[in-house]
A and B are shown apart, each in its own frame.
Chain A
């Protein structure tokens, strides 16, 4: 039986700081998973000798949401996409693949605790919720429908951002979020209704945002065990 290729996918576009952070993320994963394979999507202007020991390096555009383009073009059969401004801090990273099971996509779900609301400002709308977080995504990139989904997520978001597409009756304030596009595709588009989506069992361990904070015993809030992926998104120095 041929084994499926598995790899981590990271996208660093627009700012050099994302590239530097992506390299740090790769190294931090290698600390716990030395045999890991990586695909990095980045702009040509950022590439330097540090790309040499990365398994796949692809050029991407300078759009802020090149991540969906990267996700649609994964060279692996099974892919774990991680935002570039993250760091790996736990050996369980090597077992992330066990969470895919027979699903097509596995996400972290945004929840309603007050600590979570320090990060996610606009989740509920019209009785619905943008509860799938695009910060990390484990997916079955071997399936053509999944890659089509990723490509459409990218294409539709570009239209949404350019004000060429917006469904009637939805708050316009949501147009800045690719999470809305994700919600739309997973809830309203017939073509993707059979895609199997699941949530990581230990949810925020796979995308723990630094502003969640620590309890009085110094333990990470909103998780029972130490996080695997720490996300620095909110205070990350994106200007450089």
Chain B
């Protein structure tokens, strides 16, 4: 069994725990990848073998570099997630607005109105405030007429 540690990064501020990708290859050449958390000290208080192996290959600078890369990756992931959430929110808003428009068109005065100019304004409303404003204006006009 061949063991290889890849892309290690610090997992705590004290730098007594790190996280790394462990790649193992068995006698048949079958490769397996897993993410492992490695503590500096084992249960007897001695520096663990995995820890020594990782530091020997990558060095403290290598782990620092890996940590920076991991943090940048995480930040980018969070940015993308925020963007996706915002996009979903906007999309849901658009669809909610559409349902509200249809509800406005079912108000008796709006339903019976031939005022195409205001009906168009209602349809083109970009948000709930515009929608309510134009609907109110149309209803008032219908009453006035």
What is the interface of chain A, defined by CB distance below 8 A to chain B?
17, 20-21, 23-24, 27-28, 31, 49-50, 87, 210-214, 216, 232, 234-237
Contact = CB atoms under 8 A, between A and B. Distances in A.
Contacts of A24: 101-102, 105, 123
A237 B123 contact: no
Which label, helix, strand, loop or mixed, suits the secondary structure of the A interface?
Answer: helix
B95 interface: yes
Which label, helix, strand, loop or mixed, suits the secondary structure of the B interface?
Answer: helix
Contact of A23 (B83, B92, B105, B116): B105
A189 to B, nearest CB: 36
Contacts of A212: 91
B90 A214 contact: yes
Contacts of A17: 102
Given A27-B119, A31-B120, A211 B91 contact: yes
B51 interface: no
Contacts of A27: 116, 119-120, 123
A50 to B, nearest CB: 7
A210 B89 CA distance: 11
B106 interface: yes
Interface string B65-97: 000000000000000000100011011101110
